[in-house]
Amino acid sequence: MSKFIYLYKGPATPMDQFTKEQSEAQMAAWGAWMEKTGPALLEAGAPFAPSRTALVDDGTVAEASDLNGYSIVEAESLAGARALADGHPFLSDGNGKFTLEIFELGEM
C-alpha cells in the first residue's frame, strides 16, 4: 500500500462565509465521503488558512496558487487513489473550476 496526498485547488469559499444551511450541507457531504472512504483515509487533512505566500528560488516572493487544502489516503495504486475520490465533495460543482491533484508520497 502507498500513501497519496490529495491537494485541493480552486476558488473555494471559506466556511465562515457560508450560511448555516450551506455549512451543514458541506459538512454532511464531507462526512459521507469520509465514511465511504473508511480506513483508507489516513488523514482527513485541513483547509489552508487565507494567509499564504510563495517563495521563489531567486529570493523573490510571488503570489501563492489557489491550493486550499489537503487529505491523505492509502491505496494500492494511483488508480486506487483516484477511485477513492469518487463522490468527493470538492469535485461536486461540475463547473471545471476545482481540481483535486493526487500525488503519491515517496520515502525520504
- Which domains are delineated in the chain? 2-104 (3.30.70.1060)
**Residue 71 burial (CB < 10 Å; 0-12/13-18/19+)?**
buried
Reported pTM:
0.88
- By the 8 A CB rule, do 40 and 84 touch? yes
For residue 40, give the C-alpha cell: 483508507
For residue 89, give the C-alpha cell: 465533495
pLDDT at 5: 97
Residue-wise pLDDT tens digits, 54-105: 999 999 999 888 898 999 999 999 999 999 999 998 888 778 889 999 999 9
Q: What is the DSSP string of 69-82?
A: EEEEEEESSHHHHH
Decide if pLDDT at 13 tops 80: no
For residue 15, give the C-alpha cell: 466556511
pLDDT at 52: 86
